Amino acid sequence: MENLEAKLYCPKCGEKATKFYVHTVKGFKYIYLAHYVKEEKKCHKWYCDRLSEDLLRRLWSLGLEGCGQNITLERSDLEALRKFFVRRKGYTEWEKKRAKEILDKMCNAVRVVVTIY
Ligand SMILES: [Zn+2]
């Protein structure tokens, strides 16, 4: 990952990136950078690099936030995960489906935060 600093600036307008997201193409994951443009009511987005642990750490350390990756888990979701992946028994078809769905989402996420109320 050479010269990340130079890639932080928008090729369209020169503004610095404020967030990043992961884009998956044919199973490969790439990091795109973005910043919101008030006047255009949309984001400018551009390619950064292949996804790697190192790159994610560097982006976080620069204060950039990953976007579009929020997963909200309910107590019943956690119960589904426990039944299907930990206990391996006593789960319903719905719980099995939900557990697999959650795991799949987590695998595609940049960071997973679980908050229990
Ligand atoms: Zn821009």
Q: Measure 13 CA to ligand 1 centroid, in angstroms.
A: 4
Q: Measure 16 CA to ligand 1 centroid, in angstroms.
A: 8
**In the prediction, which pLDDT does 71 show?**
72
Q: Measure 54 CA to ligand 1 centroid, in angstroms.
A: 25
Residue with tokens 């109320």: 117
Q: Measure 48 CA to ligand 1 centroid, in angstroms.
A: 14
Spans of the chain, pLDDT less than 50: none
Segment 49-80, tens digit of pLDDT: 999 989 988 998 888 887 765 677 888 989 99
**In the prediction, which pLDDT does 10 show?**
96
**In the prediction, which pLDDT does 11 show?**
96
